[in-house]
Structure 1
Amino acid sequence: MAEREVDIAILGAGSAGLSAFRAASRHTDSVALIDPGPLGTTCARVGCMPSKLLIAAAEAAHAVHEAPLFGVHPGPLRIDGREVMARVRSERDRFVGFVLDDIAAIEARHRIEGRARFTGPQRLRVDLNDGGTLDLHARRVVIATGSHPALPAEWRAALGERLIVNDDVFDWQDLPASIAVVGAGTIGLELAQALHRLGVRVRLLGRGTKVGPLSDPELQALGATVFEAALPLQREAAVTSVEREGGGVRVRWHTPQGEHEESFDLLLAATGRTPNIEALAPAAAGLTLDEHGVPAFDPHTLQIGRGPVFIAGDVNVDRPLLHEAADEGLIAGDSAGRSLTAGLDALPPQPRRTPLAIVFSDPQIALAGLSHRQLCAAGTRFGTGRVSFANQGRSRVIARNVGALHVYGELGTRRLLGAELLGPAAEHLAHLLAWSIQRGETVDAALAQPFYHPVIEEGLRTALRELRKALDARATQPCEGCEPGE
Structure 2
Amino acid sequence: MAEFDFDLFVIGGGSGGVRAARMAAQRGARIGMAESGPMGGTCVNVGCIPKKLYSYGAHFHEAFEESRGFGWQLPGTPVLDWEILKANRAREITRLNGIYDGLMINGGVERLQGHGRLVDAHTVEVSHPDGQTTRHTSKNILIATGGVPFVPEFPGRELAVTSDDMFDLPQFPKRLVVVGGGYIACEMASIFHGLGAEVTLLYRGEQILRSFDDEVRAFTASEMRKAGVDIRLHSEVSRIEAAGAARKVHLKDGQVLDADVVLYATGRKPRVDNLGLAELGVQQEENGSIRVDEHFTTSVPSVFALGDVVGRLELTPVALAEGMALVDHLFGAAPGKPARTVDYELIPTAVFTHPPIGTVGLSEEKARTKYGAIRVFRSDFKSLKHTLSGSSERTLVKMVVDAATDRVVGLHMVGADAGEIVQGFAVALKCGATKAQFDSTIGIHPTSAEEFVTMREVSRT
State which of 314, 317, 327 in structure 2 corresponds to 1:320.
314
Question: Does 2:196 align with 1:202?
Answer: no
1:15 to partner: Cα distance: 0.8
**SS in structure 1 opposite 2:8?**
strand
Gaps of 5+ in 1: 340-346, 471-479, 481-486
What residue is the counterpart of 2:244 in the other structure? Answer: 246
In the aligned structure 1, how far is the partner of 2:157 from the partner of 2:303?
Answer: 39
- CA shift for structure 1 position 18: 0.7
Match of 1:188 in 2: 185
Partner of 1:233: 231
Contact kept? 1:7, 1:28, Cα under 8 Å: no
Residues 165-200 of structure 1 show CA distances to partners (whole Å, capped at 9, x for unaligned) of 222222235422222111122112112222112222
Per-residue deviation, 1:382: 5.0
1:264-303 matches, within 5 Å, as 264-299=259-294, 301-303=295-297
Q: What is the rounded CA distance, in whole Å, between the counterparts of 1:397 and 1:65 in structure 2? A: 11
Using the TM superposition, name which of 177-186 and 60-69 deviates more. 60-69
Q: CA 1:144 to 1:58, structure 2 compared with 1: closer, same or farther past 3 Å?
A: same
Cα distance change of structure 1 residues 285 and 228 upon mapping to structure 2, 3 Å threshold: same
State the alpha-carbon separation in 2 of the partners of residues 455 and 93 from structure 1.
Answer: 37
Name 1:385's counterpart in structure 2.
376
Q: 2:84 — aligned with what?
A: 83
* Alignment deviations for residues 348-392 of structure 1 (CA, whole Å, 9 cap, x no partner): 671437401101112111211233454355x22452433232256
In structure 1, what is the equivalent of residue 93 of structure 2? 92
Aligned mates of 1:111, 1:269 — CA distance in 2 = 34
Q: Structure 1 residues 53-62 or 73-82, which shifts more?
A: 73-82
Preserved CA contact (<8 Å) 2:14 2:40: yes
SS at match of 2:304: strand
How far is the alpha carbon of 1:125 from its aligned partner? 2.7
Q: Does 1:309 find its partner at 2:303?
A: yes
In 2, Cα distance between the equivalents of 1:195 and 1:213?
Answer: 21
Counterpart in the other structure of 2:341 = 350
SS of alignment partner, residue 294 of structure 1: coil
Tell whether the 8 Å contact from 1:364 to 1:422 is kept in structure 2 after alignment.
yes
Cα distance, 1:210 vs structure 2: 2.2
| CA distance in 2 between partners of 1:111 and 1:441 (Å) | 44
How many corresponding residue pairs? 451
Write the letter of the residue equivalent to 2:10: I
Distance 1:129 1:248, change over 3 A: same
Kept in 2, the 8 Å contact 1:147–1:276? The answer is yes
Distance, in Å, in 2 between the alignment partners of 1:131 and 1:336 is: 33
Equivalent residues of 1:8, 1:336 under 8 A apart: no
Q: How far 1:409 sits from its partner (Å)?
A: 2.1
Q: Percent identity?
A: 26
**Alpha-carbon distance in 1 for matches of 2:246, 2:287:** 33
RMSD: 2.8
In the TM superposition, residue 400 of structure 1 has moved relative to its aligned partner by 6.8
1:181 and 1:202 in contact (8 A); partners too: yes
One-letter code of the match for 2:175? Answer: S
Q: Is this contact kept in 1: 2:325–2:339, CA < 8 A?
A: no
More divergent stretch after superposition (90-99 vs 270-279): 90-99
Kept in 2: contact 1:10–1:142 (CA 8 A): yes
- For normalisation by structure 2, the TM-score amounts to 0.88
- Is the partner of 2:279 in helix, strand or coil? helix
Counterpart of 2:184, as a letter, is I
The correspondence for 2:446, drawn from 431, 444, 454, is 454
Q: Distance in 2 between matches of 1:142 and 1:74?
A: 54
Q: Which runs of 4+ in 1 moved over 6 A?
A: none
SS at match of 1:318: coil
Matching residue's letter, 1:99: Y
1:51, distance to aligned residue in structure 2 (A): 1.3
Q: How far apart, in 1, do the equivalents of 2:198 and 2:386 lie?
A: 29
The answer on whether the counterparts of 2:114 and 2:129 sit within 8 Å (CA) in structure 1 is: yes
Matches of 1:382 and 1:395 in 2, distance apart? 36
Please give the secondary structure, in 2, of the residue aligned with 1:25: helix
Change (3 A) 1:400 1:87: farther
Measured after TM superposition, the shift of residue 19 of structure 1 is 0.6
Letter in 1 for 2:168: D
In structure 2, do the counterparts of structure 1 residues 440 and 107 end up closer, same or farther at CA, with 3 Å as the change threshold? same
User: TM-score normalised to the size of structure 1?
Assistant: 0.84
| SS of equivalent residue, structure 1 residue 170 | helix
- 1:306 is displaced (CA, Å) by 7.9
Structure 2: runs of 5+ lacking an equivalent: none
Partner of 2:434: 442
Measure, in 2, the Cα distance between the counterparts of 1:68 and 1:111. 52
Q: Equivalents in 2 of 1:41, 1:316: separation in Å?
A: 15
3-state SS in 1 of match to 2:225: helix
